[in-house]
Structure 1
């Protein structure tokens, strides 16, 4: 079984993605004594540079101590895990799999210094939600709770993570542990992330069949080539419109991308170049309606 290596925004954390589901639950181990029912985690924690092992669904994430850089050891570690999986040894012994799955939250920085990404080991939402203030967060008890912290400015939800934008008067090192623990405890208590969403919230894509062929192709390109990269940085991009006469594509930037100092460079050097190449049109320009 070949594992796909993914580097994250946090240089101490790498993800090794498998082509199939590895475990049903999600697990986090930081000490060998915690991993008595996970032989793989015990092996990995025996390595002097491994700090934490995450095992969830179809991936294994590893956090290293700052004594090494992943580029120096990643090939050997990946091979060790692939050999373990090839031998069909259990990742988590069944006795542990029957226990209540703990909630783990790890934090990733984003290109936006005002936004941080809080990644959970469980699915949070089926689609993206963005809340600029508590008044907009009527469908999200978790967002409403987060807005009670005076330093929280905006909240954005995607599949397995929450991007939080802070107020400028505080520093992340002053608040990050409090937010991480609050989110973890909230989810451990099985409180709802989103509730009472009306059908009106689901109409975003209903207009797609009426769009022209160029707009539909642009949407397909954004979905395949742009959205995954943007999501890894804690953000989201949404197609708004395409003006064929002006060759202008308008998009909506959400999450960590909204207000990011590097967003303009991403639009021009990244998204615009991709669209020009794949649309075979060197005059296309991209503009964010909210940046």
Structure 2
């Protein structure tokens, strides 16, 4: 079974059995996939940019120029083969990471009361809603001086045009309501996204320079 997401370049696949026992994992093109043969197989499909494993779903992001009709048959085949013929875990985790739940929102003894509240809200109120659309988030930190919460969006939320709206009108508003110390929520980009933006900026600079190479 598959479900559309707000991101037209992402689909949420539901195999009908548990995917991750706890937590979630995301693999991008070029990542080390030795811990997940399924991720390696899915990333080998032409056009696949990233694979996200949630509790009971798999979100796949594609390159915009490749159409889903050419990709879905191979994706379906790989998913059916894995889940019907194997009881192996989707991701082989080490003994320390196994069954620990989301690491980013785990509350530590040295967390302030504000940080603990932010983590609890993200884990119990925000994460389930985002996972319904095939995405997830990662808590990256809270600046107690500026009141800024930093989050990284994953899965179908990665690169989605509506992610900024989700961040501001949904997550930010809720956190500011329950935690007065929160002043805003900002999205943190992955290294891959930063590199892509840098390359696009260089490309635009070359266009403005009449095709000449521009060193940035």
TM > 0.5 fold call: yes
| Residue 285 of structure 1, CA deviation | 0.4
Residues 1-291 of structure 1: pairs in structure 2 closer than 5 A:
106-126=1-21, 127-190=23-86, 192-199=88-95, 201=97, 204=103, 208-281=108-181, 284-290=183-189
Q: Which runs of 5+ in 1 are unaligned?
A: 1-105
8 Å CA contact 2:50–2:60 kept in 1: the answer is yes
Q: Which runs of 5+ in 2 are unaligned?
A: 194-216
Instruction: Please name the residue that 2:211 is paired with.
Output: none
Render the CA deviation track for 1:109-146: whole Å, top value 9, x for unaligned: 11111111001211011220111125322210100111
Query: What is the total number of aligned residue pairs between the two structures?
Result: 185
Deviates more, 1:132-141 or 1:109-118: 132-141
| Residue 169 of structure 1, CA deviation | 2.1
| Residue 248 of structure 1, CA deviation | 0.2
1:192–1:152 CA distance, 2 compared to 1 (3 A)? farther
Q: Which runs of 4+ in 1 moved over 6 A?
A: none
SS in 2 for 1:225: helix
- Take 2:31 and 2:144, find their aligned partners in 1: how far apart are those partners? 37
Instruction: Please name the residue that 2:201 is paired with.
Output: none
8 Å CA contact 1:112–1:257 kept in 2: the answer is yes
- Take 1:272 and 1:207, find their aligned partners in 2: how far apart are those partners? 20
- Take 1:152 and 1:176, find their aligned partners in 2: how far apart are those partners? 11
- Take 2:125 and 2:94, find their aligned partners in 1: how far apart are those partners? 30
8 Å CA contact 2:26–2:53 kept in 1: the answer is yes
8 Å CA contact 1:142–1:193 kept in 2: the answer is no
TM (norm. structure 1) is: 0.59
- Take 1:107 and 1:195, find their aligned partners in 2: how far apart are those partners? 21
Of structures 1 and 2, the one with the larger relative CO (CA 8 A, separation 6+) is: 2
SS in 2 for 1:150: coil
Render the CA deviation track for 1:253-286: whole Å, top value 9, x for unaligned: 11111111111111110000001111135x6100
